[in-house]
Amino acid sequence: MLNDMKEVLISEEKIADKVTELATQISSDFNGEKLVVIGVLKGANVFVADLIRKITIPIALDFMAISSYGSSTESSGVVKILKDLDEDIEGHNVLVVEDIIDTGLTLSYLSEYLKSRGAKTISICTLLDKPDRRKAHIDVRYKGFDIPDEFVVGYGIDFNEKYRNLPFVGILKEEAYQ
Does residue 12 contact residue 177 with C-beta atoms inside 8 Å? no
Residue 109's nearest CA partner among 57, 43, 145, 64 is 64
* Cβ neighbour number for residue 79 with a 10 Å cutoff: 16
- Judged by DSSP in three states, 14 sits in helix
Task: Reduce the secondary structure of 41-82 to three states and give it as a string.
Answer: ECCCHHHHHHHHHHCCCCCEEEEEEEECCCCCCCCCCCCEEE
Active site (catalytic) residues: 102
Give the N- to C-terminal CA distance of the chain in Å, as an integer.
Answer: 15
